[in-house]
Structure 1
Amino acid sequence: MRITVVGSINLDFVASAPKLPDDGETVTGATLARHPGGKGANMALAAQRLGAEVCMIGRVGRDAMAEEAMALLLADDVDVGGVIGDADAATGVALIAVDPSGENQIVVAAGANHQVFPEQLPARIEGPLVLQLELPIETVEAAVGRATDFVCVNLAPAQPVSDQLLRRADLIVVNETEAAFYGDLIHHGGGRVVVTKGSAGATMYQRGVEMAWATPPKVTAIDATGAGDCFVGAITVALLEGMEPQEALTFACAAGAIAATRAGAQPAMPTRDEVDAILEG
């Protein structure tokens, strides 16, 4: 299968700290690492490592950070022919604090990601399409309108979207916070809706009726950054391969769980063999 991902590409600066700061608090003793990230790029890499052929559409700056941000997409043979280098905007950056349990706080400077406008998109987007909301919303809406096949939308970060988008999506993925933001709106379309709940697993609905649920294997989480993006890539691959809802949820929960056991977003994305192994074990 060939999946198109329209989305963000960032360089993540990750501070692993003894605890996450409270309001106005300074926490010392952290260690700093840099990893490729961005919700769109994370999902693209996850799907590629799990067996899909992926084309990425996005934007980076023409700066020193762009090469780092794109490194793993290139190393894993994601097609980045749809990624433009912008001379007038910086590569997107995410500032991430992570505590020893894997919980995180994230601040994003979107940079070139907010310069991905509808004009950059093809007139028709053939094949399955995966989107999130780290680009201008008009670009997301335009991409959905030009899609000819399966559409998966991760409604994150939560923000108002059109009823047309919600009705067109074949698969909507949200976490519990995002589900609360959208309320019953996400169930008005005919597609499937998955609500993720971290270590408690995920539930799939159709028209508000529960179809299936699954829990992840027990793991020791060290960094949840990117685990949700991994889940989105995995559930998309699983459903497109024809897995039934229960099997697809179980597969995606396992992939997300593995991602949470490793530092960073993209470096944590598992291979298909790794997911199959943890499910068989």
Structure 2
Amino acid sequence: MIPEQAGATVLVLGDINADLSFIVPSFPDEGGDISAERLRWHSGGTGLNSAIAFSRLGAQVALLGRIGHDPAAEVVQATARKAGLDLRWVQTDSEVATGLCGVIISPGGQRTFVSFRGANLRYQGEALPTHLLDTCGLLFLCAHALLEGSQQYAALKLAQLAVERALPVALDLCLPAIRLARDLLFAMLPQLWLLTMNEDELRALLPGMSLQQALDHLLQHGVAHVVIKRGAQGCSIAERSGRLDVLPPAIKVVDTNGCGDAFAAAYAWAYLRGAEMRECATLANTMGALTATRSGAADAIPTRSELAMRLTYGLHYLLAPVSSGI
């Protein structure tokens, strides 16, 4: 639960990106030239998506990351400020551009991505605001931050300092981290208060194991609480005291971009506030599902009022803002 002296501040370290979507009549051949029917700018990146989800739920959020000095930075900053994020510790890179994801969307809704992580990789760990760890309730790491560069150093350093302070550390996995930093991930497991991932990530992390075998393995290796995101099947939860499967609400899916980030943040927030497993799962499933009902990533994450309309009154306490400790 939230330490009384720490308030509700959450530190989030992860990628900050702009998404540039091209809606096209057909997917071009290599070397081809087609005209897009529509063009959309969105904000995205696992760090920004997660931070906005926490903020929408009532947390005070300090976002840690690095952007460039370019039009993409203006897009993500506008979204972050509108969400009320604390951007004092977002660094600006004068040499490398803001992370950018180009998305080509064909008529059937199929998305093809070209991503540039850019300034994210150059987040400077030497300038970490470590004093924030003394005044917050949770360190939330997005696994892209573990891939490479000085961003990786910063993530590992923050996790180490958080553990020394008995501060909860949550990690939301991604496939690239499993492929490129597998040994590092397993070394971190005993430090984790919460680990979230989807089914594809679980299969990549522990190939050949059933869901239950994989959950057993993770708990045996020191993770306190594991949550598997299962899309239309909701989620599966495991801790030493029990297991639980919870179905999501029925919705019409428009765009699944950002759903996993919203889910992970919502589960961590509910768990931090002392909610029971089923309550945590219900909030997270609803947050992820509503994000899927509209286009975009960070911009698609639902507000507290939208969540309140879909949740029973008994869960509204999870949507009440909590004053900051910073």
Measured after TM superposition, the shift of residue 37 of structure 1 is 0.7
Indicate the SS of the match to 2:88.
Answer: strand
Q: Which moved more, 1:129-138 or 1:40-49?
A: 129-138
1:15–1:221 CA distance, 2 compared to 1 (3 A): farther
Give the match's secondary structure for 2:61.
strand
Q: Do structure 1's residue 153 and structure 2's residue 168 form an aligned pair?
A: no
Counterpart amino acid of 1:178?
E
Task: List runs of 5+ in structure 1 lacking aligned partners.
Answer: none
Which residue of 134, 145, 151 maps to 2:144?
A: 134
C-alpha spacing 1:166/1:104, structure 2 compared with 1 (3 Å)? farther
Shift of 1:18: 6.7
- Give the number of the structure whose residues are more often helix, by fraction: 2
In structure 2, list runs of 5 or more residues that go unmatched.
1-7, 207-213, 314-326
For 1:93-172, what aligned pairs fall within 5 Å after superposition? 93-98=100-105, 104-123=111-130, 125-126=133-134, 127=136, 128-135=138-145, 136=148, 137-147=152-162, 148=165, 149-157=167-175, 158-159=177-178, 160=182, 161-172=184-195
Equivalents in 2 of 1:102, 1:251: separation in Å?
27
Question: Could you say what secondary structure the match of 2:307 adopts?
Answer: helix
Q: After the TM superposition, which residues 126-275 of structure 1 pair with which residues of structure 2 at under 5 Å, given as runs? A: 126=134, 127=136, 128-135=138-145, 136=148, 137-147=152-162, 148=165, 149-157=167-175, 158-159=177-178, 160=182, 161-183=184-206, 184=214, 186-187=218-219, 188-206=221-239, 211-275=243-307
Counterpart amino acid of 1:168?
Q
Q: Matches of residues 60-71 of structure 1 in structure 2 within 5 Å?
A: 60-71=67-78
Return the offset for 1:168: 0.4
Q: Within 1, Cα distance between the matches of 2:142 and 2:105? A: 22
SS in 2 for 1:81: coil
- Conserved in 2, the CA contact under 8 Å of 1:102 and 1:224? no
Name the SS of the counterpart of 1:68 in structure 2.
Answer: helix
Q: Which has the larger radius of gyration?
A: 2
The CA distance in 1 between the partners of 2:283 and 2:61, in whole Å, is 19
Is residue 308 of structure 2 the alignment partner of residue 276 of structure 1? yes
State whether structure 2 residue 76 is matched by structure 1 residue 76: no
Question: Does 2:44 match 1:37?
Answer: yes
CA offsets 1:217-245 (integer angstroms, 9 cap, x no match): 11111111101111111111111121101
Using the alignment, how far apart are the partners of 2:235 and 2:28 within structure 1?
29
Deviation of 1:29 after TM superposition, in Å, equals 6.2
What displacement does 1:252 show? Answer: 0.4
Aligned partners of 2:22 and 2:36 also within 8 Å: no
Secondary structure of 2:64 counterpart: strand
Q: TM-score, normalised by structure 2?
A: 0.78
TM-score, normalised by the number of residues in structure 1:
0.90
Instruction: Note the alpha carbon deviations across 1:238-274, whole angstroms, 9 max, x for none.
Output: 1112110111011100010000001100111111221
Contact 2:194 2:223 in 1 (8 A): no
Alignment check: 8 A CA contact 1:104 1:224 kept = no
Displacement of 1:23: 9.7
One-letter amino acid of the counterpart of residue 225, structure 2: R
Greater shift, 27-36 or 105-114, is seen at 27-36
Distance 1:228 1:120 in 2: 29
1:179 offset after TM fit, Å? Answer: 0.6
- Secondary structure at the aligned position of 2:89 is classed as strand
Identity %: 32
- From the two aligned structures, give the one with the greater strand fraction: 1
Give the stretch that moved more between structures: 229-238 or 119-128. Answer: 119-128
State how far apart, in whole Å, the 2-side matches of 1:23 and 1:203 are: 41
Name the stretch that deviates more: 256-265 or 164-173.
Answer: 164-173
